[in-house]
Amino acid sequence: METIQIAIDGPAGAGKSTIAKRLADHLGFAYLDTGAMYRAVTWKAMKLNVDLEDEEAFGFLSQTRFDYIKGSLTLDGEPLGDEIRSREVSNNVSLVSSHQSVRETLVKRQQRLADNLNVVMDGRDIGTHVLPDADFKFFLTANVATRAQRRFKENVKRGIHIPLEDLKQEIIKRDEFDSNRTISPLKPASDAIVIDSSNMTIDEVINTIEVKVREEDSNGFN
Ligand code: DC
């Protein structure tokens, strides 16, 4: 069976996860959050007390399992919870995701997870590296103030309290790191549709994407 793959990339706080998840629900597709996988690896590395700067220390990845079970990603058989959204994990995940061997391993796992699924996958390098042949590629952006504000609200809902200005500085730092790393830096694929969501509601963005997907898809998936 032909499957449909939708790649959604963009910087932190552009609304990718909310949008990708709801889009997947609307279309009846699986949703794979690749940022959650980098976060989970960071969380596990911190738990194992390894030196995060030392790429060699990530050998534990060969004994680390990711599965997609009943609509959710699991790490070593356990569902991923809010522990991967902590400030410590957020501030270390860029470093961890800049290690080449970590990326190579996770990209392979992500490709395997997406295989044979109708899927919406979000991240930084989905359209450029993970699913270069995706049927649809979107790159979501928004200005830093809007993104910090969105993260702030998301955090409040989760009971995490980080001052807005701190969040803004952390986002700027993470963007800078993610955009300038040598391996798979954050950038739109040449064939991605770029959507600036600064002045759009989440529903407007989802609608824009859904209209394009439904218009252009010739497989009649619904
Ligand atoms: O989307 P997020 O903020 O949860 O992602 C966490 C970090 O993981 C982000 O700083 C960059 C990294 N990441 C990546 O390098 N490649 C991906 N495909 C997804 C996330």
Q: How far is the CA of 65 from the centre of ligand 1 (A)?
A: 18
Residue of 148, 142, 104 lying closest to 125 (CA atoms): 104
**Residue 93 near ligand 1, beta carbon < 6 Å:** yes
Per-residue pLDDT of the chain (222 residues; tens, 9 = 90+): 689 999 999 998 888 989 999 999 999 999 999 999 999 999 999 999 999 999 999 999 999 999 998 889 999 999 999 899 998 998 899 899 999 999 999 999 999 999 989 999 999 999 999 999 999 999 999 999 999 998 898 889 888 888 999 999 998 988 888 888 888 788 899 999 999 999 999 899 999 999 999 887 655 555
Find the 72 Cα to ligand 1 centroid distance in Å: 17
Q: What is the pLDDT of residue 218?
A: 57
Nearest-CA residue for ligand 1 atom 5 is: 35
> Which domains can be identified in the chain, with CATH numbers?
5-207 (3.40.50.300)
195-198, long-range: CB < 8 A, 24+ apart = 195/138, 195/139, 195/140, 195/141, 196/141, 196/142, 197/14, 197/15, 197/140, 197/141, 197/142, 197/146, 198/141, 198/142, 198/143, 198/146
φ/ψ of residue 208, rounded to 5: -60, -45
Cα–ligand 1 centroid distance for 212 (angstroms): 25
Establish whether residue 9 lines the binding site of ligand 1, counting it when its CB lies within 6 angstroms of any ligand atom: no
Q: What is the pLDDT of residue 221?
A: 56
Structure-token pair, residue 4 = 């449909």
Inter-residue contact 13 to 173 (CB < 8 Å): no
